[in-house]
Structure formats: structure tokens, C-alpha cells
Amino acid sequence: MRLAGQIKMGYYPTPPRIVDLIRDRLEFPDKPFTALDPCAGEGEALQQLTADTAAVTFGLEPDGERVDAARANIKTMLHSSLEEASVSNGAFSLILLNPPYDAEHEQLTAPGGKKTVRKERAFLRRCLPFLAPTGVLIYIVPRHILDADTVAYLSQRLDALELWDFPEPERSQFAQAVAIGTRSREQRPNAAFTPILDSPPIDAKPAMAVPIANPDVKIFRTSRLDPATLYHAAQNSPLWPMLDPNPNSGRTATAQRRPPLHLRAGHLSLLLAAGCLDGPVGEGPERHLVRGKTAKTIKQTVEVAVNPETGTVTTTTRRRDKYLVALKVLKRDGAILELV
């Protein structure tokens, strides 16, 4: 979920002018760095923020249509919510966090029962560990979210923290604010309170330098099974060429392919039972036809037990179904054999 502008099924894109103002506060390295948008939408904000830099971009988005659009703007894009994703801690140089604006509940063990936790704050606590030391966090939320508790949380964990309102006319229209800071190497228990400015600071040079980072993020995956994501991942697999999905490759659908591993007896049994190996086998006089099938047998056992105290006799009958792979063979002379 994004910020403002054209509304589409709860989707609020960040105003491009705000992205430009944020970019003016940053200094980008000339070497690769990692950038994450965990609520990426169509990926336009992160693409605009990191355009013409050495950024290696990552994104999460739960809406399938927006994921398709975001793949044109973000290098590694997962069709996933934040809750479904697994992400390496300390892996990102920059995080653009514009979370959903809504409330959720969590059960507390302390007296008082349930407490309402805004998603904006829940996403902040979830995403901050993804940021590398000295990495830059950009946090865009409704202004009222930046209350004393949230500002204290940010001040304890971020250096060079800036808090400022959207300038006009976006301020009156959206009532949003921006927090930018670099992740501290150590949490400060008693940090100085940072006031919220009426507008972005205007300095001669950017206030925060984005650090370089290893672009190979070890963990960036989702528990959601998305066909499009699986397709993109499969294309990087060494087994993908064996599947030969290219319709122009010249190979037919019935072309034989070598299995990636040698077949075991269990594999052959399943192939026979499914009829995948039906047809002619062998050459010359030994040539014959085979057809596989599954045969069901029932084994019945009867157990008799006598209670030594009462003399009561209990009879228990058990039936056990067993499935066997059967193979019917038609020989050249017309003889039929059945192997079980």
C-alpha cells in the first residue's frame, strides 16, 4: 500500500515530488548497494529514488497485478506480503518504508489483555532489523503516527534523524510526514528528542550517505507459492533447460529426456502403475508388449482374546488393503503373462 495520489483498490502511490525531496537528502555511492521497498506497489517510488545509481533493488508486494508492473522497475520482486516473507537481517543499505495505514491487534501477556498496534509501527519494528549498520531508513507515515513514543523509538535507533512534514500542497491533502535516518551501531537508551520540522531541510549537500553492500542477499524469499515467481526462479535453475519450455526449440512434446537422477525400483513401479511405460519393448524375437496396472489385494486377520477374569471372548477382524503393481505381457506367439 502506497501513499497518495491516484487511488486503485486501496493503492496510494507516493507523490513523485516527495520522492525527489527525499532523494535530495541522500548521497549515493558509485559502487553497488542494496535497496528494499517492503510495500513496493508498482515499484515506481523505489525506481525513481534510485534511478541512475548502482542500486540493486528488491521489493515485496501482495497484489498480483501490481507485482507484474513492479517487475519492470525493481530487479528482484516477490509476490508476497511482509508477513509471508523471510529476509536477511542487516542486508540492505537503504529501506523505503511506506507501510499500510491501518490497525491490527496483538495479544499481550501483560495485564490489560489486547492492545491495538498500528500497522505503521508494526512494520517499522519488523523492517528495521533488515537495515545494515549506517544504512538509511526512509519512513513515510501519517503525521499523527510520529507521536512521542514513535519518535523516541526512532531516535534511539537512528543517527542523523530528520523528521519533516510534507510541504504544501501535499501537506494539506495527505497530512503525511517523513522520517529519515541512518541505523545506529548501538541502541541508545536515552536519545535526545527530535522535533518535526515544517518542511524538508535545505542544505548545500545531502545529509546522509548510503553505504555500499553485498548485492547477493542470502535470504529473500516468501512462503507464498506464486506461479509467476516460481517461473522466474526456475529459469535460473540448471534443470530448467531439460524441461525445454521454448516452443521454438524444435523438440517435440514426446521427445525423450534423460532423468536428472537414476530411476529406482519405486520410481519404475509408479511409472508402470500409471501406464507411462506401456507399449512395445525389446527387439527381434524378444520384442513384446507390456501394460502396467495396479492390483488390489485384501488381507484379513482374525484375533481372538479371552478375558482371564470374566471369560469373555472378544473377536477382532482386521482387513488390510494392499496395492501391488501388476504387469501384463503379450509375447510374439500370443501368450499372455501377468507379473505381480
Instruction: Give CA angle at 279 (273, 281), nearest 5°.
Output: 105
- Asked whether the beta carbons of 273 and 294 are under 8 A apart, the reply is yes
Higher-confidence residue: 217 or 259?
217
In terms of residues, how long is the chain? 340
Grid coordinates of 27: 548521497
According to DSSP, the residues that pair with 231 across neighbouring strands are none
Mean pLDDT for the stretch of residues 107-133: 77
Distance set, CA 231 to CA 63, 78, 249 (Å): 17, 12, 18
Pick from 97-111, 113-127, 140-154, 201-215 the range whose average pLDDT is largest: 140-154
- Asked whether the beta carbons of 195 and 147 are under 8 A apart, the reply is no
DSSP 8-state symbol, 8:
B
What domains appear along the chain, each with residue ranges and CATH number?
16-234 (3.40.50.150), 265-339 (no CATH)
Q: Give residue 106's region: left, alpha or beta (phi > 0; psi -120 to 50).
A: beta
DSSP 8-state symbol, 191:
P
Grid coordinates of 303: 484375533
- What is the full DSSP assignment across 231-292? HHHHTTSTTHHHH---TTS---TT-----SS---HHHHHHHHHTTTT-EEESSGGG-EEEEE
What amino acid occupies position 86? S
Average pLDDT over all residues of the chain: 84
Q: What global pTM score does this model have? A: 0.66
Q: What is the pLDDT of residues 78-94, one digit of tens each?
A: 999 999 999 999 999 99
Write down the pLDDT at residue 248.
59
274 Cβ partners below 8 Å, 6+ apart?
Answer: 292
Number of C-beta neighbours around residue 87 at 10 A: 23
- d(CA 121, CA 102) in angstroms, rounded, equals 10
- d(CA 49, CA 4) in angstroms, rounded, equals 16
Number of C-beta neighbours around residue 93 at 10 A: 25
**Helix 119-127 / helix 148-157 crossing angle, nearest 10 deg:** 10
Write down the pLDDT at residue 146.
93
DSSP, collapsed to helix, strand or coil, labels residue 43 as coil
Write down the pLDDT at residue 271.
83
According to DSSP, the residues that pair with 76 across neighbouring strands are 58
Grid coordinates of 233: 526462479
- d(CA 316, CA 66) in angstroms, rounded, equals 61
Q: What is the pLDDT of residues 3-59, one digit of tens each?
A: 333 334 456 778 999 999 999 999 999 999 999 999 999 999 999 999 999 999 999
Write down the pLDDT at residue 2.
38
Say whether pLDDT at 63 is over 70. Answer: yes
Q: What are the helix (H) ranges across the chain?
A: 16-24, 44-50, 64-70, 119-127, 148-157, 170-174, 227-234, 240-243, 265-273
Give CA torsion, residues 80, 217, 229, 78, to 10 deg.
30
Q: What are the helix (H) ranges across 8-118?
A: 16-24, 44-50, 64-70
Q: What share of the chain is helix, strand, coil (3-state, %, to 5)?
A: 25, 35, 45
